[in-house]
Homo-oligomer: A and B are copies of this chain.
Amino acid sequence: MIKLSIFYPNAEEKKFDKDYYINIHMPMSIKLQGSAVRRVNVDFGISGLPGTKAPYIAICHFVYDSFEAFESAFVPHADVLMKDIANYTDIDTIIQFSEVKI
C-alpha cells in the first residue's frame, strides 16, 4: 500500500478554510478518485510539543494499492482538484509518497 500525504504548513499570514476543505474539497476529491482510494484521513493540527504551535494546520492522507492505482485515480481529475485548492488555501503544500509499513 502506498500513501499520498499532503501537508499544509501552519503559517500565520496564510489562509485555510477548514469548513470548505472538509465539506466541499475532500468529498469532491474522494468522489472523483473513486474506489482506488482505500483509506482517507484528514487531521487538523492542535499543537506541537507543549507550548509550540502545530507544524501543520492540516494533513491529508490517501492510501492506494499502488502508485499506479494513485495515478489512474488522480491524474484524470488533477486539473479540477488542483484548481479547487485556491478556494480554501494559499498555503504552499508539502507532498510525500510513502510505503505503509504498519
Contact = CB atoms under 8 A, between A and B. Distances in A.
Main secondary structure of the interface of A (DSSP, over half): strand
Interface in A20-44: 22, 26, 40-44
A5 B47 contact: no
Nearest to A94: B55
Interface residues of A, number: 29
Given A44-B101, A56-B96, A59-B98, 9 more contacts: A5-B43, A5-B59, A7-B55, A42-B102, A43-B100, A44-B98, A45-B97, A49-B95, A54-B98
A41 to B, nearest CB: 6
Contacts of A102: 22, 26, 40-42
Contacts of A3: 43
A101 B5 contact: no
